[in-house]
Chains A and B, each alone.
Chain A
Amino acid sequence: MTKSFLWIVIGLFFPLAIQAQDALIPEDSLGFRDFLILQKEVTGLEYQFLIMGDNIPDSLLRDSVYTFSKTDLGLVSGQFEDFGKLDTLEAPLAQSNVAYQLQYLVFSEISSRATVREYLSTLIENGGHQIKVVEPQSKIDLVALASKSPYSPLQKFKLKFVSDYRLFGVTLTIAFFFLVASTMIAAMLVMKARKNQRENLEKEYESIVIDPLTSLLFEKELHEIEQMDQEEIYLFFPQQMLSKKLFKHVLIESIIGLNKKMKGEFKEKLKALYKKLELDKMSIRSLHHKKWDRVTMGLAQINEMDLVEAMPEVKKFTNSKNFYIRSMAVSTILNLSEKVDLKFLRDQTYPISLWQQMNYLRIIRFVSSQKNIKLEVLFDSENPSIRIFGIKLVRILGRVDLIENLAAFAGSVSDEEKMEILETYASFGAHMEAGFVNECMKSSNQALVLAATKVAMVIGDAESAEILVGLIHSESSFPRKLSLLKSLYGLDKERFDTETTDHPSSEISDIRSHILDPMLQHV
């Protein structure tokens, strides 16, 4: 990242960067001289000494280091590349009091300081020379330099970790990942371990429970169990086991399991045991649990063990927000209620699903074989799904006695209810309601018309046949035409023949063949 930004900075501010380098080369002669001494050698740059006049000691003249030669301007030394030796070479000249001049040479050409400076700038810019800067001599120098100008950091202090956002991001992600992953793994492992432990304990408790239950069920009579006090019953079970919740849970499951399988007096014995062991209190207590599945489980136990005393509590749940609690509460009331008053179902505000209807139907069907159920109560419900369920019940339970009730409100209900009523009339063969069927066949709702025509096949009259023929003539949709002709065939075969035999339309002929095909009769 830092590198990239450096590129960006170099790319955008390139001229400024050159200027900044130029500024590093001092303009004054002394500074420039010191700068060159620091650089030591610079490609293409040399220096020499020019001595004006002949007044020069012999020792210097003969010195092989200088190799002076005579020119028009005076004595000129040899050319030197190493500026680092400038001070050493200049010192003997200065001590001998000769007039001398330091000359710079760029590619052996004598050049001015400004020319040399310009050459140096170009060289640095092209990368031909790396600038050497003054290294601080000591801490004292640094402090002295620092004290000259107020401190302002070039870059604010940052941890590399934080300043590198990618590294930071990756580390954060990894940390997050490990945190969540380890939490989830721990949770799953704990869950799995608990489940295994629970399953093992349940198996163990199940084996413990079998013997006492068998003894009580097969060795004791019902009245004996009823007369036994709690402590006597507790003696059948291993000590202190009944204080364990899981053991009681296994006991409940075992008793309910047996109750489902057994019949007659055994069922009574199990119910008596359930109460003597105070498991009924546990079931009722679970109705106050926060978790919906525990409440539903409690309701299921109350239902299975016929805990009639819990009915007032159960009634509170018949309009619960939770689908499962609501369903189980209604099933329990239907099962346990002595009078089988369906008013509580009538007053339900939530729409009932087909699943609920199926479960309620099973119980109502069972109860209706023993008691008379006032299904008509459901027709008064403000909940359309309950009214429809009521109509279905009339049909499924074969309550022909309620046809009059249906007929009384059939004209004023929704089309969906009318379709249910039509189906009910058809299943009862209620020919006296042909008028209603004919009315429905004249409806503007195509679905209702189709339902009515199907019913007309069973309970229609001459007028129905006329309406059907009218509909067939005006119908353009093929599937509906097929359905209408099927109804006509079922209602009046002669009329069907009249309408379809030798018909010019191939469509009608095809439909006729279809309807008359015996292989397609039971589709």
Chain B
Amino acid sequence: MYSFLFYLILEIFGLIFLVLSFSVIVIYLVLMVLSALEMRDYLRKNRFADYGDIITSPIAPGVSILAPAYNEGQSIVQNAQSLLSLHYGKFEVILINDGSKDDTLEKLIHSFELQKTNYVYHPEIETKPVRGIYRSKNMSYRRLTVIDKENGGKADALNTGINIANLEILACIDVDCILSSESISRMVRPFMEETNQRVIAVGGVIGIANNCDVQDGTVTTYRVPETMLGKFQVIEYFRAFLMGRMAWSRINGLMLISGAFGFFRKDLVRTVGGYFPKTVGEDMELVVRMRRYLDEQKIPHKVAFVPDPLCWTEVPENEDVLARQRNRWMRGTIETLQLHQTVRFNPKYGVLGMLSYPFWSIFEKYAPILEASGILYTLILLMIGDFSAVYFFALLVMMYLLSLLVSSFSVLYEQIAFNHYKDKKDLRKLIWMIITEPFVVHPKIIYWGLMGHIDFIKGKGGWGSMIRTGFKKAEDKKNLAEQSRT
């Protein structure tokens, strides 16, 4: 009887892996088609867009740029100057010094002639105490506001900025990001184009600046990073931004906007209670909560995506740093999905509930577990002598080819749409990376993802058991935050 059960379980697992393999192929092929269509339409629409008017038009909305800074003393002045020189008419820059232990604040005070004001800070969204709000005597820096607060993490710092932001659109960015001078005008366009659907947030592409030449806040010469991990991330970012997010944007199913470069409607962000500081995946959590809130209110809405290269950042090329980043991303994903379990397969939440959430659960959250289980399953089959080399190699080759196809297409999209990597040597490096990635880097990504799961179970990150309850309603965030304190 035991042997019967054992073989039955093996049989069920075999069937699950077969269905999963088929689903992965179908889903990625569909995503490729959707992203191609979206990219084509975007490029067509862009031909008729004149961004010149936005800068001076009284009709264009105002943008509050929120940039949290922690121990950024070395580059903060240069970064702030870069933000202040963006080409846009109506914008303010709010830098939030999140309890830096270095001279970040002193450098800002000195460079921008800042003075502490009598600003009466009365937070709508609860945050760590604010020590002071600074503004400049010099009118050249009239757009700049600096908040000095106690350390509370990125989400808490952004919430502080949201509390004092004066303009309609919030641009939440990483202070060390390089922004193109026309980044605001390009990102604001989807908000301005809304008619029947409310555009609640706009995500942008993050480019990789490692090994590139940067001049006046824009990458002038693109070069592929020298390290293997750097090259891998170039491919990965193409896949994520030019393929994944473009495709999800096509069906209005975007669940994630990068925390390094995202634009949001201020009134809605305030209504839902801002960022949730208890999660490490605050960017994804906010988007899901906003969407969930509007779905519950039955308000048609859209999360848009702009594929233009407007923001660049340096990615970690060190294995330890990358491992920590991936671990954090995995925990963020698990936390967000756990918090919003109500959405799962719930038709009330439309595409979010029926497609995006299940996709993220199976192919992002459980991906490392499923892949590791696949390896374990193969080993068991080998041990009991039921291993079929035909199936194994057929599936292996098929998945490998799928990986090649998806990665090659994302590079091809980049070539067709933007063509940044003009040097053939760079392209050859990228192609070699595509070929070797599944064997060289992917296992590490799986391992880091698994470690993310383990750390989540251990409660690393301060969630404890609270996260498993999930929100009953989008508005419950504050109550849950209070519960977590007790």
Contact = CB atoms under 8 A, between A and B. Distances in A.
Given A293-B44, A511-B120, A514-B119, A170 B412 contact: no
Contacts of B54: 358
Interface residues of B, number: 63
B376 interface: no
Given A350-B195, A354-B191, A396-B58, A519 B115 contact: yes
Given A358-B59, A522-B142, A513 B120 contact: yes
A445 B196 CA distance: 23
B59 A167 contact: no
A353 B402 contact: no
A236 interface: no
Contact of A184 (B32, B45, B115, B122): B32
A357 B58 CA distance: 10
Contacts, number: 146
Interface stretch (A18-26, A172-180, A237-245, A272-280): A172-180
Interface residues of A, number: 59
B394 interface: yes
B465 interface: no
Contacts of A327: 48
Interface stretch (A3-11, A42-50, A101-109, A399-407): A3-11
A478 B122 CA distance: 7
Contact of B405 (A181, A195, A510): A181
A169 B3 contact: no
A263 to B, nearest CB: 18
A296 B120 contact: no
B401 interface: yes
A191 B412 CA distance: 11
Contact of B53 (A293, A362, A482, A511): A362
A181 B117 contact: no
Contacts of A510: 118, 120
Nearest to A182: B405
B14 A166 contact: yes
Contacts of A166: 14, 18, 388, 391
A178 to B, nearest CB: 8
Interface string A241-263: 00000000000000000000000
B21 interface: yes
A517 interface: yes
A230 interface: no
A324 interface: yes
A351 B195 contact: yes
Interface string A298-342: 001000000000000000000000011001100000000000000
Interface string A415-457: 0000000000000000000000000000000000000000000
Interface string A215-229: 000000000000000
Contact of A192 (B57, B145, B416): B416
Contact of B118 (A8, A180, A328, A513): A513
A355 interface: yes
A181 B401 contact: yes
A144 interface: no
B406 to A, nearest CB: 10
Interface in A134-175: 166-167, 169-171, 173-174
Contact of B21 (A171, A173, A191, A355): A173
B29 interface: yes
Given A4-B11, A11-B3, A513-B118, A353 B398 contact: no
Contacts of B122: 478-479, 482, 507
B119 A517 contact: yes
Contact of A520 (B3, B7, B44, B135): B135
B57 A361 contact: yes
B4 interface: yes
B32 A482 contact: no
Contacts of A174: 394, 398
A356 to B, nearest CB: 8
A351 B196 contact: yes
Contacts of B192: 353-355, 358
Nearest to B6: A7
B59 A392 contact: yes
A523 interface: yes
Pairs of residues from A and B, 8 with the lowest C-beta to C-beta distance, nearest first: A354-B192, A513-B118, A355-B192, A517-B118, A514-B120, A510-B120, A478-B122, A11-B4
Given A167-B390, A355-B189, A519-B117, 13 more contacts: A8-B7, A177-B402, A188-B412, A293-B45, A297-B48, A354-B192, A358-B53, A510-B118, A513-B120, A514-B117, A517-B118, A519-B118, A520-B135
Interface of A: 1, 3-4, 7-8, 11-12, 166-167, 169-171, 173-174, 176-177, 180-181, 184-185, 188, 191-192, 195, 293, 296-297, 300, 323-324, 327-328, 350-355, 357-359, 361-362, 392, 396, 478-479, 482, 507, 510-511, 513-514, 516-517, 519-520, 522-523
